[in-house]
Structure 1
Amino acid sequence: MWQFDPRRHARSLYWRGWGVTQIADEFALHGIVNEKGGPIPRATIETWKQRDRWDEAPSIRKIEDGLEIRLLTLIAKEKKTSADYVEMDALSRQIESLAKVRRYEAPGGHAGDLNDKVANRNAGDRKKAKKNHFTADQAAELKRIFLDGLYDYQHRWWQAKDQRTRMILKSRQIGATYYFAFEALIDAIETGRNQIFLSASKAQAHQFRSYIVSFAKLVGVALTGDPMLITSDLLPAEEAAAELHFLGTNFRTAQGRHGNFYFDEFFWVHSFEELNKVASGMATHKKWRKTYFSTPSSVAHPAYPYWTGDRRNRRRKKSEQIKIDVSHDALAIGSVGPDRIWRNIVNIVDAEKGGCDLFDVEELRDEYAPDEFANLFMCDFVDDSMSAFRFNDMIACGCDSLVEWTDFNPEAERPYGQRNVWAGYDPQESETGDNAALVIAAPPLQVGGEFRILERHQLRGLDFEQQAEFIKAVLSRYHCTYLGIDAKGVGAGVYQIVAKPGYMPGCTVAKIEYSLELKAQMIMKAQNVVRRGRLKFDTGMLDLVSAFVSIKKTLTTSGRNVTFKAGRGGEDGHADLAWATMHILMNEPLDGKENPKGTMEIIE
């Protein structure tokens, strides 16, 4: 068993940038003592540093040290999650790669030390491993890793895996996509059934693929292909390979396919009825399984009647209609309804009780407005009947940006090249605790064209100087010609910095000072852009949709005027991403033909 070594720990801290005095103070603070039980003074650590020549160690040794410590920490955990196993596999491979480099750089090193193919090219005939194939031992080990790492609510999903249809309403970030990717892989290995993953965008669908590839590496299998073909020793020799399809907006190309299907975030997709017809057709035969899972959106979404059972009751006699209890109390542990659909609700409190320790729930309650927290984490649907922006109008603006925007590469050093972008910033208000938001958009290329949201960021806990530095750093990757900033409160300080001559060369900085009239004009402009389908963003930007839908028409404190608010007690509430977007849209006047004038103070 690995034992704690103060000398090695001190060396590791030193290689991570700690000073000798800082290390001594750290040891004293945490009661780290020598073998005799006494304190470890600064002089001792300095002696270790000199004798072991810490400063002379090559960079590769310092990297190896960090990897080894992290790997040992994970190995020492009694209950490991699937994520732990994935990380352990990645760390082990990195350590192995560095060891090869060290052998190559040592006296007598050769190319074979770096490349196993080179080292073994003169070896005798070897049986070539089957591509995308799992042995019985690999399959058993993978399933053990999977089941050992499940939270309680994931165990319930596993126990219900043979239900013909499952519909799961869940909190954000509780590991649903991760779980169902693993479940589908196990099913493909054990049964040979095809697995089909449906999402609103290619990026979302390929998250399943990324997980599955990582899982297979845990037992030494390198999966390739799209669609991906998988075989195993558990299947009869005559059984065809299981096919795994990862579908975004190209779902129509799979209409002739059949298999189990997983529909990710189905409450947030546009044209749900059309998508669901295709999906249902894939699983018509009784041997296939259908799984729908999502965070809730709006009661106006076309999928909502499927959840409540009202969709089944259409065009049926009253005597044949059913009633389904979709309350949390009824579905917290899962229940099969009279329509034979297994439903389950897992909110963030359920996840925490089920062993998921990834959240600080009280901190999240503080960060989000009550209605937003209820929607994102407590599985409550939004009623958008009083919203300034209709939910279905907003999701209609979603698109598959990786497929449709060929002129934009988010991974590039200059994602949009030298073409112009506009930006909007809604600052953090310290007295309300709201987040700050920065949105970057490609403006229309012609009159009446589309605004495309390229990036959005939310930040919290920064003072006005740090917020200004953040804006400058993010926009440095673009050719930004316009930036609109709400200049009240903390925003005034942010504005003063970014508006300084030379701080953001070539960018016009607009000082936006809210009034009832200006807010009404901003809302009216945005409503027009949305209704005409001129606002576009990747379908994965669910937070942007939520931000717009959260803005509601209300009366001012005096009761004499109409204004727009969202969530918290602050005037603009928590819809920071929406307001930042509207700062961009206002740079084009209502008619979309002339330069803006009269509503903002422009400083170059």
Structure 2
Amino acid sequence: MPAIVAKRTKARSLYWQGWTLSQIAEELDLAYTTVASWKSRHKWDDAPAIQRAEEGTLERYLRLMAKDKKTGQDFKEIDLLGRQFERMARIARYCDGGTEADLNPARANPARSTNKKKEKAKNLLTREHVAQLRADLEAGLFGHQEGWQASVSQRTRMILKSRQIGATWYFARERLLVALETGKNQIFISASRAQANIFRNYIVQWVQKVCGIELKGDPMVLQRGEDEDGAPLEAVTLYFLGTNYRTAQGYTGDVVIDECFWIYGFEELFKVASAIATHKQFTRTLFSTPSTLGHEAYPMWTGERVNKRRARKDRLKIDISHRTLKVGQVGKDGIWRQIVTVFDAIEGGFNLVNVDELQLEYAADEFDNLFRCLFLDDSLSMFPFAMMRRCMVDSWDTWHADYQPYALRPYAGEVWLGYDPNASESGTGDDAALVAVAAPTKPGGKFRILEKQRLKGLQFDAQAKAIKLMCGKYNVTRIGIDTTGAGKAVEQLVRKWFPTVTAYHYNVQIKSSMVLKAKNVISAGRLEFDAAWQDMMSAFMAIKPEVTKHGVSYVASRSGGVGHADLAFATMHALFFEPLDITEAPGGTTTVEIYE
């Protein structure tokens, strides 16, 4: 195309986009009179609207097609522009003497329209959609996630990983693509149904963003369209399970187990998972932050699970050092293991955390557990994992009769609040914890932790407001607040609108009584909370006895004066309303002050 013709075409395109003649002349380095002459001679104003739309659409389409590296959004727009060409062609046929069927093919073939509606209702994801999703995934991976992608064909993967490095986010996407590309069902198993739904939410949000399709259903049945030869592909199903995994024994497919080192009854769960994935074509993926050395999944990690069935001379040696497993390795037992610390993730380009800030916020042993992938030794804990695991329930299934977490008033019964305030006198910089505990409905009944909140960096009035908002959701009859330090100001503000608030002024005696009361309740199997709440588990497990000049006290490891057992002590403030003799009525004092 001669240069002058190209400029004239460009000038016309800009004019149809709303540019003035002066702006066009300046943009293309032309004389105003030249542009005005083109406009008049070639009758730009008389051109049909459809011609203008076609030219603008074609220009954008060609620009996108010329890109070497296309993003998921590019593919989405190319698909949209293609549909626009088809629509404009129908309009052109109609304007050229066509019928209404040219505008709406459904009028010519109503059955075809009905079939299309049915397809849309069945979560249809075509090969083009899968290509868009694959491109979007690969464009947004960090180095450690690329390593997981490279291991996708391993029969059994067991990954020990740092907190908050995008594992659930990644495996939700990986398994969706595996399902769509291979036709294998995917079974997601978590400690609770609420945690399993995180997988589902990630998948739904991703497909909506990239493909503009809203997936529905649970289980989620996905239609896969047709193969390259036009033959229909079989549908695939995604299952999202909590503690009801026992109902999945008739399923077949790939299995994903989230936070395997925190799930109660791991041995039974893994037997079910192995049955689901018996055929060699299916895979098993387990990933988790570490819990304790005594967890049922730990022998599988070390290799002792397979060795306990072998004679001493035939035992397999499994190296689980970080040096060996940093990049992942298949052990002699056939399990591909990997350790990914937060430092490994950062080394691979992960830039979403500040390690220096994390080390200030967490105690050294807590940081090692959460971010350096070191298992806890809870042998000295007042609340070891073996005791606490009895508290872990799937609240979705267990409490559904009287607890609706998304309702304005989730629970109608009596609720006690416990609050452990900021450790800082300034009221900012440290964590505080607020819990809502459903009181027992009969003597010796169970306590249920319905809700928990971690409050960080709030002034006293904002902390008091958070407590008041919680009171607005539940039928709160008792509130307990630690007033030993910074909590005194919060308690005074709360007392203005809740006069019967109980103030706990800590010393060795009262702290010991609280811990022993909580241990009594937990040992009797009378405390429940959602199995996905690892922070609650860690908070209780962190509490250890310590000998002081005043006697035996109970403390949690601290960093910079900040305890990480705040959720546990907040819970104890609520449990302490019940007397040690559970046949008595709950105590009615509003201040418990035994000064040191």
Same fold (TM over 0.5): yes
1:518 equivalent in alignment to 2:501? no
* Paired residue secondary structure (1:197): strand
Task: Give the Cα–Cα distance (whole angstroms) in 1 for the partners of residues 71 and 262 of structure 2.
Answer: 29
| 1:543 partnered with 2:535 | yes
- Distance in structure 2 (CA, Å) of the matches to 1:333 and 1:571: 36
Alpha carbons 2:290, 2:373 under 8 Å: kept:
yes
Does residue 176 of structure 1 match 2:167?
yes
The residue type equivalent to 1:529 in the other structure is V
1:601 is matched with 591
Distance 1:414 1:380, change over 3 A: same
Distance 1:397 1:226, change over 3 A: same
Structure 1 partner of 2:487: 491
Kept after mapping to 1: 8 A contact 2:254/2:282? yes
Greater CA deviation, 156-165 or 396-405?
A: 396-405
Greater Cα offset, 593-602 or 360-369? 593-602
SS at match of 1:169: strand
Letter in 1 for 2:522: V
Aligned-pair CA distance for 1:349? 1.8
TM superposition shift of 1:120: 9.7
Equivalent pair of 2:328/2:336 in contact (CA under 8 Å): yes
Asked if structure 2 preserves the Cα contact closer than 8 Å seen for 1:197 and 1:245, the reply is yes
Which ranges of structure 1 fall in alignment gaps of 5 or more residues? 1-77, 94-118
Task: Say which is worse superposed, 301-310 or 459-468, in terms of deviation.
Answer: 459-468
Q: Which amino acid aligns with 2:403?
A: F
Do the aligned residues in 1 keep the contact of 2:361 with 2:562 (CA within 8 Å)?
A: no
**Equivalent residue for 1:45?**
none
Cα deviation, 1:504-527, whole Å, max 9, x if unaligned, reads: 3xx631111112121111111111
Give the superposition deviation at 1:358. Answer: 1.8
Q: Secondary structure at the match of 1:480?
A: strand
SS of 1:297's equivalent in the other structure is coil
Q: Are 1:463 and 2:459 matched, yes or no?
A: yes
Counterpart of 1:408 in structure 2 is 403
Residue 241, structure 1, aligned to residue 225, structure 2: no
SS of residue paired to 1:396: helix
Are the equivalent residues in 2 in contact too, given 1:428–1:434 (CA < 8 A)? yes
Deviations, residues 281-310 of structure 1 (Å, cap 9, x unaligned): 111111110000111111111001101111
Match of 2:524 among 517, 522, 532: 532
Question: How far did 1:352 drift?
Answer: 2.0
Residue in 2 that maps onto 1:555? 547
Following TM superposition, by how much is the alpha carbon of 1:273 offset from its aligned partner in structure 2, in angstroms? 0.9
Deviation at 1:569, TM superposition (A): 6.2
Q: Is the 8 A contact 1:442 1:453 kept in 2?
A: yes
Comparing both structures, which one devotes a greater share of its residues to helix? 2
**SS across alignment from 1:345:** strand
1:168 counterpart SS class: strand
In the alignment, the residues of structure 2 paired with residue 120 and residue 178 of structure 1 have an alpha-carbon distance, to the nearest angstrom, of 41
Pair 1:573 & 2:569 matched: no
The question of 1:453 aligning with 2:449 is answered yes
TM-score, L = length of structure 1: 0.76
Q: What is the TM-score with the length of structure 2 in the denominator? A: 0.77
Paired AA for residue 439 in structure 2: P
Q: Aligned partners of 2:424 and 2:106: how far apart in 1?
A: 65
| TM superposition shift of 1:471 | 1.5
> Residues 46-445 of structure 1 correspond to what in structure 2 (within 5 A)?
125=110, 126-127=112-113, 128-129=115-116, 130=119, 131-217=122-208, 218-232=210-224, 233-234=226-227, 237=231, 240-406=234-400, 407-417=402-412, 419-430=413-424, 434-445=430-441
User: Partners in 2 of 1:268 and 1:342 — Cα distance?
Assistant: 20
What is the CA deviation profile of residues 72-104 of structure 1, one whole-angstrom value per residue up to 9, with x for unaligned ones? xxxxxx99999xx79x99xxx9xxxxxxxxxxx
Q: Report the AA paired with residue 144 of structure 2.
A: Y
User: For residue 329 of structure 1, what is the amino acid of its counterpart?
Assistant: R
CA spacing shift, 1:79–1:546, aligned 2, 3 Å: farther
Q: Secondary structure at the match of 1:213?
A: helix
| Counterpart amino acid of residue 470 in structure 2 | V
In structure 2, distance between residues paired with 1:81 and 1:516: 61
Aligned to 1:583: 573
**Partner Cα distance (2:477, 2:408) in 1:** 18
Distance across 2 between alignment mates of 1:360 and 1:385:
31
* Paired residue secondary structure (1:133): coil
- 1:213–1:223 CA contact under 8 A, matched in 2: yes
Native 8 Å contact 1:401 1:537 kept in 2: yes
Partner of 2:305, secondary structure, is: helix
Q: Which amino acid is the alignment partner of residue 512 of structure 1?
A: Y
Establish whether residue 592 from structure 1 lines up as the match of residue 596 from structure 2.
no
Identity of aligned residues (%): 50
Counterpart amino acid of 1:189? L
* 1:485-513, Cα deviation, whole Å (9 max, x unpaired): 1111111111122123xx13xx6311111
Gaps of 5+ in 2: 1-67, 81-103
Q: Which amino acid aligns with 2:149?
A: W
Equivalence for 1:27: none
SS at match of 2:501: strand
Aligned length: 491
2-structure distance, mates of 1:569, 1:334: 32
Task: Measure, in 2, the Cα distance between the counterparts of 1:569 and 1:342.
Answer: 35
Distance 1:377 1:316 in 2: 34
Q: For 1:212 and 1:144, how far apart are their aligned partners in 2?
A: 15
Question: How far apart are the structure 2 equivalents of 1:549 and 1:79?
Answer: 50
- 1:438 and 1:456 in contact (8 A); partners too: yes
Q: Is the 8 A contact 1:164 1:286 kept in 2?
A: yes
Distance 1:228 1:333 in 2: 34
Q: How far has the Cα of 1:571 moved from its partner?
A: 8.3
Secondary structure at 1:389 match in 2:
coil
Q: Residues 81 and 475 (structure 1 numbering): CA distance in 2 closer, same or farther, change over 3 Å? A: farther
After superposition, give the CA deviation of every residue in 1:554-574 in whole Å (9 maximum; x if it has no partner).
Answer: 111x4x621111111688832
Question: Take 2:299 and 2:464, find their aligned partners in 1: how far apart are those partners?
Answer: 46
Q: Deviations over 1:410-460 (max 9, x none)?
A: 22211213x221011111111696411111100000010010001111112
What is the distance in 1 between the residues matched to 2:295 and 2:206?
Answer: 34
User: Which stretch has the larger CA shift, 285-294 or 312-321?
Assistant: 312-321
Cα displacement (A) at 1:548: 0.1
The change in CA–CA distance for 1:198 and 1:496 in structure 2 (over 3 A counts) is same
- Report if aligned partners of 1:201, 1:248 keep a CA contact under 8 Å in 2: yes
Partner of 1:509 in structure 2? 501
- In structure 2, distance between residues paired with 1:79 and 1:435: 45
- Give the letter aligned to residue 261 of structure 1: V
Aligned counterpart in structure 2 of residue 474 of structure 1, from 470, 475, 478: 470
Shift of 1:356: 2.1
Change (3 A) 1:188 1:596: closer
| Kept after mapping to 2: 8 A contact 1:197/1:247 | yes
Q: Write the letter of the residue equivalent to 1:595.
A: A
